[in-house]
Structure 1
Amino acid sequence: MTVDGGAGASSGALGSAGGLGVEPEQLTDDDLLRELRRLHDTRHETLRHGSDDALDAHTVRLADLESEYLRRWPQREVDPARLREGARARE
């Protein structure tokens, strides 16, 4: 399945990104994490070289998947170094 709106987009359930895969809430945890990783990996290329439609679809799908991730793991592990206090400690 592609996630950038290219040929080969999933013919499964229509997502809010216009058919770009299975609805996020229907994905297993492993599939959700794999799709998120793939979209994050392809974001730069889509931004630089994708069509407007591909970028729009990528943005919508990424937002949908990230929202589902946050819904499933609202108490996700936050690295203390990624907080303001952690950044100040590095200075």
Structure 2
Amino acid sequence: MAMGVSPAELTDDDLLRELGHLYETRMDALRHAADQAYGEHTQRMAQLEAEYLRRRPAREIDPQRLREGARAR
């Protein structure tokens, strides 16, 4: 089944909007979607996240999200 526009073809704004929408609907998909629909949701999320990481390999990392930051807390 086709899953929308290829992530590589999305503008940065569209990519972020699509990711935001998927995150907003994730719990509903987990709790109420059929197995196939949940699998497609998961696959699309993985594709969009991979594209985000491809575009931003040097993205800002919050030091608190690292192991050392967690130990300091």
Q: TM-score with structure 1 length normalisation?
A: 0.77
1:29 and 1:19 mapped to 2: Cα distance?
21
Could you list the runs of 5+ residues in structure 2 that have no partner in the other structure? none
Could you list the runs of 5+ residues in structure 1 that have no partner in the other structure? 1-17
Question: Equivalent residue of 1:19, what SS?
Answer: coil
Match of 1:20 in 2: 3
Of Structure 1 and Structure 2, the greater helix share is in 2
Ranked by relative contact order (alpha carbons within 8 Å, sequence separation 6 or more), the top structure is 2
2:57 and 2:25 mapped to 1: Cα distance?
25
- Indicate yes or no: 2:57 matched with 1:84: no
Runs of 4+ in 1 over 3 A off after TM superposition: none
Q: TM-score with structure 2 length normalisation?
A: 0.95
2:27 and 2:4 mapped to 1: Cα distance?
20
Task: Give the share of equivalent positions with the same residue, in percent.
Answer: 63
1:20 CA drift (Å): 2.1
- RMSD, matched Cα: 0.7
Aligned residues: 73
